[in-house]
Structure 1
Amino acid sequence: MKNIKDKKIAIIGAGPGGLTLARLLQMDGFNVNVYERDTDENARPKGATLDLHEESGLAALREAGLMDAFMANFRPGADRTRIVDQHGHIVFEDNDTQNREAFRPEIDRGPLQKILLDSLAKDTVIWNSHFETLKPEGDSWLIEFKNRNSVQADIVIAADGAHSKIRPYITPIKAFYSGVTVVEGAVYASATASPKIHTLLNGGKIFAMGSEKSLIVSSKGDGSLVFYTGCNTTENWANESGIDFSDKHQVINWFKNEFSDWDAIWLELFENASTAFVPRPQYCMPFDQSWETVSNLTMLGDAAHLMPPYAGEGVNMAMLDALELSRCFKNEDFQNSQEAISVYEKQMLKRASETAELTMQSTAALHSADALDFLRNIMTVE
């Protein structure tokens, strides 16, 4: 597009999607800043590792010129997967990292964030910028933050995640509850703190399934592990359960009761958890969502198409959104930003709808009586 490089673009949110978009636009001389509520890049703990897919996350990094940096920081072998039953017995093992048809390398969130941050011009990311309101000013926007700072931008991109505060400016459509709530925890120095699970993990991932529940464990490059249970619950279970999730003993008692027919080996995770547990009810955007395009406002990633994590598509979808949106902005065949955003949103929504539907099918299957067979069949096909 001929005139968009003269416009000031504001990306709200410094997750992988927002940072990838900033990098792709800066490469072509676009005027872009990223506004992030965290005070700095190390302000919060980084979650589970990410597996990047060839057609999405890796495609975005390749176009961003960052594959060398990625190859220097990804974790070979971290994509090793063990499917186990509730007693800790291995029912399927995937160690064939050399000959696997689909190369899906794992990288920790911290190193991926650093690769993207280091690729940006100095002061591209404005930290401690917690979004508060968006006000139209002619053909542009006034963005106000909680620290009382404000900034004007011609185009605003919402990359602010599952609880996006910008999404309501675009559409009133809300996510629906998936039926599953996750309880997340972490163990530091897992080799000594949780030796049995650390050995079973073998530097990769564990998918434990049984009695219509799941427990997924991921190793991290810093020697820690993260884990999250998945249970079929009511939407407000976390608030109505009476459990104080910052109290380890209460969570242990809940786990012993809720997972009473699971082997005691799993208690090692809960007894040695290093941080407070976090309950996360899982939501998904409607498969048929659509809205009228706004000429100077759009969104990507979870803000646009939130879905549960049971297909491993979240970060890949966000990075592919960034890739496709950047291409639309750079396409000189489009007459204006309205046309570019409209084309981007149509293809993004179609793709997201298909992925969300598959994700919800996977979410239900992994919390059913046939979960082990379902997951084993997927791994065998891949």
Structure 2
Amino acid sequence: MESPAPADARISIIGAGPGGLTCARVLRRHGIPVTVYDRDAGANARDQGGSLDLHEEDGQLALREAGLLDEFFALARAEGQEMRQLDPAGRVLAHHLPDEGETAAPEIDRGLLRDLLVRSLAPGTVQWGRALTAVSGPADGPRTLTFTDGTTVETDLVIGADGAFSRVRGAVSAAIPRYTGIGFLEARFDGMEHAHPELSRLVGQGGAHIADGERGIFAQRNGGGHLRAYLLRRVPVDWIAANGLDPRDTAGIRARLLTEYAGWSPRILRMITDNDGPYVDRPIFALPAPHTWDHTPGVTLLGDAAHLMPPLGVGVNLAMLDASELALALARSATVDDAVRTYEKTMLPRSADFARKLEGGAEHLLSVHDAADVPAR
């Protein structure tokens, strides 16, 4: 089967995260039809998570191609670029305050970013409640998408933007994510200024990192007076059950954490004792580095589906850059297959380079860094 022109092709994106939605938005700006399928029941069906810093050289570049950069700046928090490094006694080792007008990496809540991208698309572009189970069909196309509700869709190009445990990835690669040995345990805090004023003063308006070489905490301000703290530890992936605990046993988990963080400042330990609601276990997985694949007609990947790495500030930015570059390649190429080849020729080496640099990087979050690593106040 001859590869169709992008404007005439049936293009399907799996996953309505920042990458998938950015790709859809840029495609639609160039007059190329596309449908996005997502397993969520709706845009606000679940908590989208914490805050993201979008960088000038990738995330913001993608939003410029999407025609949404000004709207992003209207929603973003420039003050979120503040960063503090503390020791376990609560002493400030380094403190970066953004300059007035600094826009290198402002923060935006994940939910706000998703809403911005969804609103930019014509109604019906995103089909909610469509969870993919399989990609099938001949190598020369068309591909068939099968969903959990039993429905199928034929498509000329399926773009896997469906995250760490992508259902699309298997069509191009046998790679599966591996546990890094580092677990994040998320604690949420609401009404920071009134309910948690001491933590508010400790963290500031952006983020704060504390580590002692064996364990760490990264606290991050979100919009709307919220904060999320991520407790970082070397633990088995099933550490909660292995210790006879239940994810809903907040008191039991808290008691264990207080033992592990014994000796840390009582001010910092408020991130363990004062959280609002249960903890959320978030084990950190990564794909083997580098993750590449042979070109496969009718299928490609972007973001975490293509290059899942430790959470060191590049994931969403690379996903959005991937999305923009793939969409632009489709807008500028004679056929879908030409476009995918052009995109993968740039994306795969770039992601391989990042993955090599960040391999094992989750360990870095437990390290005691030199104060020179963070700009002085």
TM tier, smaller: over 0.9
What is the CA distance between 1:357 and its match in structure 2?
A: 2.5
Query: For residue 343 of structure 2, what is the amino acid of its counterpart?
Result: Y
Q: Which residue of 1 aligns with 2:358?
A: 359
Structure-1 separation of matches of 2:241 and 2:22: 35
What is the CA distance between 1:96 and its match in structure 2?
A: 3.0
SS at match of 2:114: helix
What is the CA distance between 1:119 and its match in structure 2?
A: 0.9
Query: For residue 379 of structure 1, what is the amino acid of its counterpart?
Result: V
Q: Which residue of 1 aligns with 2:374?
A: 379
Query: For residue 350 of structure 2, what is the amino acid of its counterpart?
Result: R
Q: Which residue of 2 aligns with 1:349?
A: 348
Q: Spell out the pairing of 1:295-310 with structure 2 (5 A cutoff).
A: 295-309=297-311
Pick the aligned partner of 1:277 from 262, 276, 279.
279
- Counterparts in 2 of 1:195 and 1:307: CA distance versus 1, 3 Å: same
Of residues 293-302 and 168-177 in structure 1, the stretch that sits farther from structure 2 once superposed is 168-177
**Mapped pair 1:330 → 2:331:** yes
What is the CA distance between 1:354 and its match in structure 2?
A: 1.8
TM-score between the two structures when normalised by the length of structure 2: 0.93
What is the CA distance between 1:316 and its match in structure 2?
A: 0.1
- Counterparts in 2 of 1:355 and 1:29: CA distance versus 1, 3 Å: same
Query: For residue 116 of structure 1, what is the amino acid of its counterpart?
Result: L
Structure-2 separation of matches of 1:124 and 1:273: 38
Q: Which residue of 2 aligns with 1:289?
A: 291
SS at match of 2:375: helix
Output one character per residue of 1:148-200: Cα deviation in whole Å (capped at 9) or x when no partner.
Answer: 33322211011111111111121002233323111112112222332211121
Q: Which residue of 2 aligns with 1:119?
A: 120
Q: Is the 8 A contact 1:14 1:159 kept in 2?
A: yes
Q: Which residue of 2 aligns with 1:265?
A: 267
Q: Is the 8 A contact 2:53 2:106 kept in 1?
A: yes
What is the CA distance between 1:362 and its match in structure 2?
A: 3.9
Query: For residue 139 of structure 1, what is the amino acid of its counterpart?
Result: G
Q: Which residue of 1 aligns with 2:203?
A: 201
What is the CA distance between 1:99 and its match in structure 2?
A: 7.3
Pick the aligned partner of 1:185 from 181, 184, 187.
187
What is the CA distance between 1:67 and its match in structure 2?
A: 1.1
Structure-1 separation of matches of 2:303 and 2:74: 26
Output one character per residue of 1:207-257: Cα deviation in whole Å (capped at 9) or x when no partner.
Answer: 111242210111111111111111123444344333322211011112111
Q: Is the 8 A contact 1:284 1:356 kept in 2?
A: no
SS at match of 1:133: strand
What is the CA distance between 1:9 and its match in structure 2?
A: 0.6
Output one character per residue of 1:126-162: Cα deviation in whole Å (capped at 9) or x when no partner.
Answer: 0111112222167212222222333222110111111
Structure-2 separation of matches of 1:307 and 1:238: 24
Q: In percent, how many aligned pairs have the same letter?
A: 34
Q: Which residue of 2 aligns with 1:90?
A: 92
Query: For residue 211 of structure 2, what is the amino acid of its counterpart?
Result: M
What is the CA distance between 1:281 and its match in structure 2?
A: 1.9
Query: For residue 85 of structure 1, what is the amino acid of its counterpart?
Result: D
Structure-1 separation of matches of 2:193 and 2:17: 29
Of residues 285-294 and 271-280 in structure 1, the stretch that sits farther from structure 2 once superposed is 271-280
Q: Is the 8 A contact 2:82 2:205 kept in 1?
A: yes
Query: For residue 373 of structure 2, what is the amino acid of its counterpart?
Result: I
What is the CA distance between 1:2 and its match in structure 2?
A: 7.5
Q: Which runs of 5+ in 1 are unaligned?
A: none
Query: For residue 215 of structure 2, what is the amino acid of its counterpart?
Result: K
Q: Which residue of 2 aligns with 1:319?
A: 320
Output one character per residue of 1:334-357: Cα deviation in whole Å (capped at 9) or x when no partner.
Answer: x53333212322321211122223
Structure-2 separation of matches of 1:19 and 1:9: 13
Structure-2 separation of matches of 1:372 and 1:50: 22
Q: Which residue of 2 aligns with 1:226?
A: 228
Q: Which residue of 2 aligns with 1:340?
A: 339
SS at match of 2:300: strand
Structure-1 separation of matches of 2:243 and 2:177: 22
Q: Is the 8 A contact 1:85 1:372 kept in 2?
A: no
What is the CA distance between 1:267 and its match in structure 2?
A: 3.1
Of residues 348-357 and 119-128 in structure 1, the stretch that sits farther from structure 2 once superposed is 348-357
TM-score between the two structures when normalised by the length of structure 1: 0.92
Q: Is the 8 A contact 1:80 1:203 kept in 2?
A: yes
- Counterparts in 2 of 1:337 and 1:61: CA distance versus 1, 3 Å: same
Query: For residue 178 of structure 2, what is the amino acid of its counterpart?
Result: F
The number of equivalent residue pairs is 374
SS at match of 2:337: helix
Q: Is the 8 A contact 1:212 1:366 kept in 2?
A: no
Output one character per residue of 1:252-293: Cα deviation in whole Å (capped at 9) or x when no partner.
Answer: 112111111212223323333223322222122222322111
Pick the aligned partner of 1:251 from 253, 258, 273.
253
- Counterparts in 2 of 1:320 and 1:95: CA distance versus 1, 3 Å: same
Q: Is the 8 A contact 1:177 1:283 kept in 2?
A: yes
Query: For residue 5 of structure 2, what is the amino acid of its counterpart?
Result: N
Structure-1 separation of matches of 2:91 and 2:42: 42
SS at match of 1:78: helix
Structure-2 separation of matches of 1:28 and 1:76: 31
User: Deviation above 6 Å: which 4+ runs of structure 1?
Assistant: none
Query: For residue 275 of structure 2, what is the amino acid of its counterpart?
Result: A
